[in-house]
Amino acid sequence: MRTQMKTEFKEEQKFTQWWLWLILIPIGILPIFGIYKQLILGEKFGDKPMSDLGLIIFSVFVLSLIGLFLIMKLKTSIDKNGIQMNFFPFTKKRVEWNEIKNTKVVNYGFVGGWGIRLWTKYGTVYNMKGNKGLAIELKNGKKFLIGTQRETELNNIVEKMPVANNV
């Protein structure tokens, strides 16, 4: 019988910033209103209205973008075998401890926004909010950082793992 290995650390983050949704919801309402006014009521929407097809394509794009913010999540799990990160729906990473040179929980400051940020001093940064994360340097020289909202707990777990050095 196979036993399930206990995960040492698990975190799931989503875009929950109230101010972000305060911006996105009105942006999402605008194309719905435009479709209602132009396609249902038959009145042109705006001073320079789009074609009906253009309005539909624009609406689908805007609503898909908002939908993306709804489904995006960053999952991190750390166990005795390694670190796993899933930035849904974009990428997954799993690294074993024997591949890792250094790990450290850091304040990475502002890296130009949230989501996936390339070419930072920490390599690729995967974050949802805040400015704290687990910086990981692999033995092959590659680097990446996983954002966290649970800095203290993550730091306590990482210190107990096979690799816990300064990056």
Find the distance separating the first CA and the last CA of the chain, reported in whole Å. Answer: 39
Q: Which residue has the higher pLDDT, 166 or 54?
A: 54
Give the model's pLDDT for residue 160.
Answer: 80
Is the pLDDT reported for residue 57 higher than 90? yes
User: What pTM does this model have?
Assistant: 0.79
CATH number, domain 74-160: 2.30.29
Average per-residue pLDDT for the chain: 88
- Residue 55 CB burial class (10 angstroms; 0-12, 13-18, ≥19): buried
Range list of H helices, the chain: 18-35, 52-71, 151-160
What is the share, in percent, of the chain residues with pLDDT greater than 90?
66
Domain ranges of the chain: 14-71, 74-160
**How many Å apart are CA 6 and CA 80, to the nearest integer?**
9
pLDDT at 130: 86
| Helix 18-35 with 52-71: angle, nearest 10 deg | 160
Quickly list DSSP for 108-144.
----SSSEEEEEETTEEEEESSSSEEEEEEETTS-EE
pLDDT tens digits, one per residue of 68-106: 999 999 999 999 889 999 999 999 999 999 999 999 999
Report pLDDT digits (tens) over 11-39.
Answer: 999 988 888 889 999 999 999 999 999 99
Percentage of the chain beyond pLDDT 70 is 91
Q: Which pair of tokens denotes residue 39?
A: 């396609």
CA distance 9 to 19: 29
- 23 Cβ partners below 8 Å, 6+ apart? none
